[in-house]
Amino acid sequence: MSTPSALSSFLKGKCPQCREGNIFKTSVFNIRRFKETHEHCPVCHVRFESEPGFFWGAMYFSYALNVGVAIVTGVIFFSLNDDPPLGAMIGTVLGISVFFSPLVFRLARLLMMYIAAPYRKYKKGPYNKK
């Protein structure tokens, strides 16, 4: 099997170490369970939360992504409407931010794992099964 690229593994939500195991338990569209993350990779058994509070760092990525969503939404909404009322603008930006929050949550965790943990390098299998 050919090695999947880091970008395709990132976009598919795969383990940064083996690029095969799923990080998240359900689809991003599962509104009630989108946050559920496997504790260990189902394939290579690496622990995803490599140290206590590791995912707290994902809040920085989440903040940056949310600011990006808010700016893009605000610019699009403002350019499509002629002098919109402030309340409509704020409501639209908040609504779109809430709508994208499951995606932002996952992207933030993935960025934390792929970028902020460079010590976790890709290792080709086979892996010891537990």
Interface with Zn ion by CB under 5 A: which residues? 15, 17-18, 21, 41, 43-44
The two three-digit tokens of residue 73, written as one number: 């939404």
Q: Are 18 and 43 in contact (CB under 8 A)?
A: yes
CB of 115 to Zn ion, least distance (A): 17
Closest approach of Zn ion to the CB of residue 17, in Å = 5
**Choice between 4 and 74, CB closer to Zn ion:** 4
Residue 17 or 62 having the CB closest to Zn ion: 17
Select 16 or 92, whichever has its Cβ closest to Zn ion: 16
Q: Where are the alpha helices (DSSP H) in the chain?
A: 6-12, 58-80, 86-114
Nearer Cβ to Zn ion (17/92)? 17
- Measured CA to CA in angstroms, residue 4 lies from 64, 83, 106 at distances of 27, 48, 20
Cβ at position 65, least distance to Zn ion in Å: 24
Contact 73, 97 (CB under 8 A): yes
38: helix, coil or strand? coil
Q: Measured between alpha carbons, how far is 97 from 3 in angstroms, rounded to an integer?
A: 35
Q: Least distance in Å: CB of 123 to Zn ion?
A: 9
